[in-house]
Amino acid sequence: MRDKLLALTWGLSFHGASAELINRAISQWLWPSSITVGNYLYVTGGEQYWPSSGNITHEPGTYVVDLTTSWTNETIVPVGGQPVNSPSDMRPSRQPLLYYDAIHSTVNRWAGWPYDGDDYPTTLWSFEVGSGTVDWQQGANVSSNASSSVSNGPFAAAIAYSNTTYFNLGGNIKATNAEADMTVLPGLVMQDFGTHPWSNVSFELYAQTQFRTQARAAYVPNFGSKGYLVAVGGENPVTEASVYETGYEMTDMADITLYDVATGKWYQQTAAGDIPPPRSEFCAVGAASQRETFELFVYGGSVNSSDEANKPADDGYLNVYALSIPAFRWFMSNSSTTQRRACHACSIVGNRQMISIGGRLVNTATTLGMQQDPWTSSIGVFDMTAFAWTDAYDPHAAAYDSPDPVKQYYTSEYEEPTWADPALAQVFHMSSRYYQVQNTSTNPTSSQPANGKSSKTPTGAIVGGVIGGVAFIAILCITGWLWLRRRRRQAVPTEETYPEDGKPPYIDFPEPAAPTYEVDGAVYKLAPVELSSNSDAIAELPGHGAGTGDDAGAGNRGSRYDE
């Protein structure tokens, strides 16, 4: 951890007359955590830098933001005008882990990298959601309810949650020896919201070790009978030893880790497309589209100081990426930021926007935290459907749908992934048919699309052409037969004779085409598909409805998750 040269101010926030979420005198906000539940965004934890006074505020309290009204990063204000102070016995921490328990309607908090000691927090704190107020209540000690592998609450874990379960993959605790800064916790920790017990399952993949840290995860509800946990990025050291911010043993962003919640089996699927560079200290949120796909959005992150110095303007870290499932393909947004960022938090707000909060400005020559964040209140807003950064939060935005590049890929360029396991092909192949549609609103004159890839004739067009041709031939045959029959009757008025079987002649018509329906000029072919029992869940990597490590969302179709 970098040395802090400034004096410390514990649990205090000084808000003047400014209308922003945080005071303009604050230059940077490192390691915050955020979660969206219903109509409110909650932000807590981390440290805020005050260059003018030489102070650092640890654990600045919990900020509550109303999501029913529009705002920009210059007009956003916390409910009540200031953050809610944290209890005196709640240990101040970097990026405490937040998740939403839908059964008990509570936001829960535990773990994180503490400022006041080497033993990591294991006490569970929670508050009831719905009113916009925060009243943290101390709960049970997690270490007394789980295996020894959960004796310490981790930092930098990949977390997500469904409506019934919390998932915690890996993460770091303080090292117990001098070989490394951190010790990586093995396995997947889970909490059942209904019965409250904690459990630990092993992380078993032939291509990876059991140690994973700094990854991000999302719960994907619309595939499989109970959904999948999907994790990307971070580090995968050979042993439990991990040195913070050195960039060793980085996980390739093409390697997608999957956990089948129903069967308890692990898989690694290789993704294609615009593969992001490897990273830790990044954020991610996830959303299910109206077309049965799921997109995981990734922003920011770091590798190490050398990488940051050599690549100050790398689009791989300035731009947002989206991993689309079931295609298992990455897409990069063309909308860029001006400053590399790490140690920040992201959540889904409203129907289709992602908010980025705080973060360390990467590759700056100034002392940690001293350079002014170019984003007012350290806040940026990204429209996931438009696939671009925007200047305001819109509570009335339309429901989330996949970005245009994603839709274009499925409708005209889709290629079946090379599946790592037949079980994945069985689960994820089924939904790809929903995107095999024909766009009837336009008639392209070129056979070569703008991306240079050869175009493919849609399946619907081929089938329709074959059936139409057969029908046309059948009509000609019927017409000809009737004409000949009439001529024969006129020429030889004898009794009509039938074939030897005694049955009249007939035409064997082809089976009719499968029914279709049209939406926004695109014709969709209906096909029987077995839907997941929770296909209408919502996810954010928490409140996020179901989630990724940052949170899950409110009030739209599909699922949302964030971290």
Give the model's pLDDT for residue 452: 34
Q: Specify if 554 maps to a domain.
A: yes
On whether residue 432 sits in a domain, the answer given is: no
The verdict on residue 2 lying in a domain is: no
The residue-averaged pLDDT of 123-136 equals: 93
> Do 106 and 207 fall within a single domain?
yes
Residues 184 and 254 in one domain: yes
In a domain, 527, yes or no: no
First to last CA, the chain: 22
**One domain for residues 20 and 117:** yes
Evaluate if residue 29 carries a pLDDT over 80: yes
Identify the CA nearest to 127 among candidates 86, 81, 82, 66.
Answer: 86
Confidence of residue 431 (pLDDT cuts 50, 70, 90): low
pLDDT band of residue 124 (cuts 50, 70, 90) is: very high
Q: Which residue has the higher pLDDT, 506 or 358?
A: 358
| Whether residue 524 has pLDDT greater than 60 | no
What share of residues in the chain are helix, strand, coil (percent, to 5)?
15, 35, 55
What 3-state class would DSSP assign to 429? helix
| Separation CA 472–CA 465 (nearest Å) | 11
- Residues 273 and 392 reside in one and the same domain: yes
Pair (384, 458) in one structural domain: no
When pLDDT is cut at 50, 70 and 90, the band that residue 476 belongs to is low
Q: Out of 68-72, 81-85, 240-244, 461-465, which region has the weakest mean confidence (pLDDT)? A: 461-465
Instruction: Work out how many domains the chain is built from and give that number.
Output: 2
Q: Say what the pLDDT of residue 490 is.
A: 46
Indicate whether 395 belongs to any domain. yes
Tell me what pLDDT residue 17 has: 40
pLDDT of residue 165 exceeding 90, the answer is yes
**Whether residue 302 sits in one domain with residue 235:** yes
Q: Is 196 helix (H, G, I), strand (E, B) or coil?
A: coil
Q: State pLDDT tens for residues 532-549.
A: 434 344 344 443 444 555
Beta carbons of 560 and 544 less than 8 angstroms apart: yes
For 383, other C-beta atoms within 10 Å of its C-beta total 21
Does residue 428 sit within a domain? no
Residue 263: which CATH number?
2.120.10.80
**Same-domain status, 263 and 393:** yes
Q: Quick one: pLDDT band at residue 479, thresholds 50, 70, 90?
A: low
Q: Tell whether the torsion through CA atoms of 277, 282, 283 and 284 is positive or negative.
A: positive
Same domain? For 258 and 354 the reply is: yes
349 or 531: which leads in pLDDT = 349
pLDDT in tens, 502-514: 444 433 434 444 4
For residue 140, being part of any structural domain is answered with: yes
> Tens digit of pLDDT for each residue in 367-424?
889 899 999 999 999 999 999 999 999 999 999 999 999 999 999 999 999 999 999 9
Q: Determine the Cα–Cα distance for residues 503 and 352; give it in Å rounded to an integer.
A: 64
pTM of the model: 0.76
Burial classification of residue 418, based on how many CB atoms lie within 10 Å of its CB (0-12 exposed, 13-18 middle, 19 or more buried): exposed
Residue 557 belongs to some domain of the structure: yes
Q: At 142, is the pLDDT very low, low, confident or very high (cuts 50, 70, 90)? A: confident
Q: Are residues 321 and 451 in the same domain?
A: no
Instruction: List C-alpha distances in Å: 460 to 269, 291, 415, 430, 435.
Output: 29, 17, 16, 17, 11
pLDDT at 439: 40
CA distances from 42 to 15, 36, 320, 349, 423 (A): 18, 6, 23, 11, 38
- Which residue segment(s) compose the domain that 478 sits in? 442-486+506-519
